[in-house]
Amino acid sequence: METTKELNTYPDRNPNPVMTIGENGELVYANYAASIMLKNFGRNGNEKISFPEGFDKCVSLAIESNEIQKETFGISDGHYSFNFCPREDGRVDLFGTNISEEVKNETYFSTISAFSTAILNADTEDEVAITITHEAIARLSYVDCVVYLADRQNGTLKQKAAHGPKNPKSILDSLKDPISLNFGAGIVGFAASEKRTVIVKDISQDGRYTLDNGQRKSEIAVPIMADDEVIGIIDSEHPEKDYFTQEDAKILESIASIASTRIQHTRALEETKHTEAKYKSFVENAFGGLYILRNDLFDYANDQFCEMVGYDLNELTVPNFDMQKLIVDADQKTTLALEARKRGDYSPKSYQLEVKTKQGHLRYLAINTSVLKDKKGYFTLGIALDITETIQSRHRLEEAVESLEKKTEELNEFAHLASHNLRAPVTNLIGLLDHYDRENPADSTNQIILEKFSQTVEQLNLTLEEMHQVLRVRAKESIEFNTVDLNELVEGIKLQLSEKIRTTQFSIQTNFEVNKVKYDKAHLENLFFNLISNSLKYGRQEVNPYIQIHCSEMNDHIRLVFKDNGLGIDLDKHGKHLFGMYKRFHDNPEGRGVGLYLVKRQLNALGGTISAESEPNLGTCFTVFLVNQKNLVK
C-alpha cells in the first residue's frame, strides 16, 4: 500500500508525537508517541479523531498560507508545541514536542515573580502575611491559606492573615480573633518545631491534626525561616485528600524565603523608624536647642533652637546667613573657644553667647559644642540652653547689690555729715559756756555770748530739721500724684518769700506751656521753693535780679527750666559737689547746703533728673525733667 510505504519512512519510534492530517482533516498517520498522546486525550483507534480546540484552525492556516504554523496546546496532563508543516499533496505534517516541564517551570517562575512583586510592596509584616494568603488563593488556586507569625516574646505562633472559609469576603483584613498556637502543637506547630515543610496527605489519618472543623482532608505547612529561626508558617488545607504535591512545597518554600527577607526588612525598617522616632524625640525634647554647623554655617537646627533665636530653619540654613547678625557679644571664653576651633582644636567646648533674636530681643545661651565627623566631613554639634532668665536674675541681683552698696555709702556719708553738723554747734555751745562769766551776768561779753548761744541753738535746731527732711526723702514717704497748678504753686512761694522779694526787687517770670502737672505736690513745691529761693539768695544786686521759669511737655517728660541772672557757680570747681549734702558755694549764712541735695534726691526717686549750667557773675540755669505721668492734665 502506498500509504503504508509512506508511513514506513516515518520514525515510528520518535519519542515526540508526529502526525499527518489528510485533506479532509482525517488522521492519516500518528506515530507511537502521538497515538499515546491522542489516546490519552480520550479517543480510540478507529473512532474519528477529535483534535484539541484550535487544531483545525492551525491545519487550515498551514494549507492556505502554505507556511509552517506554530502553536502550543495543553493536551491531557501535558503541554505540547506543534509545527504544522503543509505538504504539496494538500496534507499537513505535525511535529510535536512535549514542553510540559518548560510550561510548569514558567508557571512556577511567573507565580513566584507575582508573589515577589506583591510581597515586596508590603510595608509591614502584617501586610506581608495578608499578601501571601491573598496571592495563594488567587495564583495557586488554593481554597484556604493562613499565615502565622512567631511571637518572639512568648514563643507562640499567631495567625496574622487567613483567607478562605474563615474570612470568605475579606482579602486584606487582619483576623479579628486570631488563633494562637504553641510550637509543636498541630501540624503548623509541628512544622515550626521541625523547621521543615510538612505535607499531610490525609488529615483523618494524622494524629497531629487537632484544630479546625474537620472538613479539610489534606494540609501543607511551610516554615518561614530567618537565620535558622522560624519566624512564621504558611499553612493551607484542602478538601481533597492528597492534594498538595512537592510542586506546592517548592513554590511555598520559595514564597516563604521571599517573605522572610521582606519581613526582616520591614522589621528592620520599623526598628529604624522606632529608633529614629526615639532619637528625634530625644533631640527635640531632651536637649533644648540643638544645631549643627558645617563650615561655620547652620546645617540643621531643631525647633527649640529656632525658637530661641527667632529664625525658622529655612532662614538659618541659607548659605549666606550672617552670623554677626545673631551673635551680639562674644565674651572672652567664647572667643577663645571659637579661635581654638579654627586652630583645629576639636575638643568639646562650653561657653556663653549673647544673641540677638530676629525680633531684636537679647538672649543669653549656654553653649556646649562637640566636633564630629560623618561622610560629609567635620561638623559642629551644638547644644544651647536659654539662660536668659538666670542671667537677668543675676543682673538684677548685681543691680540690687550695687544699689544697696550705694545706699550704704550714702548712709555712711550722711552719718559723717550729720555727726559733723551736730558736733560743730554743740562744741560752740560748750565753748560759749566756757567763756560765760557767771559772776557778772550783766557783763557786755556775756550779752554777746548769750546772743551767739541763741543763734547756735537755732542752727542746731535747723540742722536737726534738715536731717529729718533728708531721712524722710530717703524713706520715700508716701508719694501722691495730684494735679498741681504751677501758677498757684509759684504764687504760694512768692507769698512765703514776699519780704525778701520786695527788698531785693526780685522778679519771677513764668512761661508755662503746660501749667497743670500730675506729680507729687510736696516734691514739686520743694523743687520750686529751693530753686527760686536760691536765685533770690544768690542774686546780684547790681542788676535787677530775676528768675525765668519755663515749663513744656516733651514726649514722656515734663521739662522745667529755671534760669536766673545771679552770682552763678564755678562748675569747673564745684560741679561735682553741686548736689552734694551740706555743700555750700557762697558765703551766705542762709545757705545750708541741703536744698539742692534734697531736690535731686526727690527727683531721682521718681525717675526725674536735674542738671545745671552756670557762669560766675552771669547766672545759673537748672534744667529739670520730670517723668510725665500718664494722667497728665494740660
Partner 1 sequence: MRIMVIDDDSTFQFIFRKQIEKIDEIEIVNESRNGKDAVNFIKSLDDSSTEKPDLIVLDLNMPVMDGWDFLDEYGKLCANGKSPIPICILSSTINQADFDRANTYDSVKSFFSKPITSNQLKTMKKISEIY
Which spans of this chain sit near partner 1 (rule: CB under 8 A)?
A: 416, 419-421, 423-424, 427-428, 430-432, 434-435, 445, 448, 452, 455-456, 573, 582, 584-588, 591, 593
Alpha helices in 282-347 (DSSP H): 303-309, 313-316, 323-326, 332-342
3-state secondary structure of 249: helix
Residue 305 or 585 with smaller CB distance to partner 1: 585
| Minimum distance of partner 1 from residue 470's CB (angstroms) | 17
Residue 380 or 456 with smaller CB distance to partner 1: 456
The helix (run of H) or strand (run of E) holding residue 546 is strand 546-554
| Minimum distance of partner 1 from residue 461's CB (angstroms) | 15
| Minimum distance of partner 1 from residue 341's CB (angstroms) | 51
27 forms beta bridges with 21
| Burial status of residue 192 (CB atoms within 10 A of its CB: 0-12, 13-18, 19 or more) | buried
Alpha helices in 186-245 (DSSP H): 186-194
| Minimum distance of partner 1 from residue 534's CB (angstroms) | 13
Residue 417 or 501 with smaller CB distance to partner 1: 417
| Minimum distance of partner 1 from residue 408's CB (angstroms) | 15
| Minimum distance of partner 1 from residue 485's CB (angstroms) | 35
Residue 256 or 418 with smaller CB distance to partner 1: 418
| Minimum distance of partner 1 from residue 588's CB (angstroms) | 7
The whole-angstrom distance between residue 312's C-alpha and the CA centroid of its chain comes to 10
Residue 168 or 589 with smaller CB distance to partner 1: 589
508 forms beta bridges with 547
Residue 276 or 458 with smaller CB distance to partner 1: 458
> Are 258 and 232 within 8 A, CB to CB?
no
HSE-CB of 498 using CA atoms within 13 angstroms: 4
How do the residues of the chain divide into helix, strand and coil, expressed in percent and rounded to 5? 45, 25, 30
Residue 509 or 588 with smaller CB distance to partner 1: 588
> Are 17 and 31 within 8 A, CB to CB?
yes
**C-alpha distances in Å from residue 197, one per residue of 222, 247, 249, 268, 497:** 4, 12, 7, 26, 122
Cα gap 581→469, rounded to integer Å = 12
| Minimum distance of partner 1 from residue 404's CB (angstroms) | 21
Of 283, 292, 288, 247, the C-alpha closest to 107 is: 247
Strands 349-356 and 481-485: unpaired
Residue 361 or 420 with smaller CB distance to partner 1: 420
First to last CA, the chain: 144
Of 594, 576, 573, the C-alpha closest to 421 is: 594
| Minimum distance of partner 1 from residue 602's CB (angstroms) | 23
Residue 352 or 459 with smaller CB distance to partner 1: 459
SS3 of 482-520? EEEEHHHHHHHHHHHCHHHHHHHCCEEEEEECCCEEEEE
Residue 456 or 614 with smaller CB distance to partner 1: 456
| Minimum distance of partner 1 from residue 424's CB (angstroms) | 4
SS3 of 613-631? EEECCCEEEEEEEEECCCC
Cα gap 52→42, rounded to integer Å = 11
> Are 248 and 267 within 8 A, CB to CB?
no
Residue 82 or 538 with smaller CB distance to partner 1: 538
| Minimum distance of partner 1 from residue 456's CB (angstroms) | 6
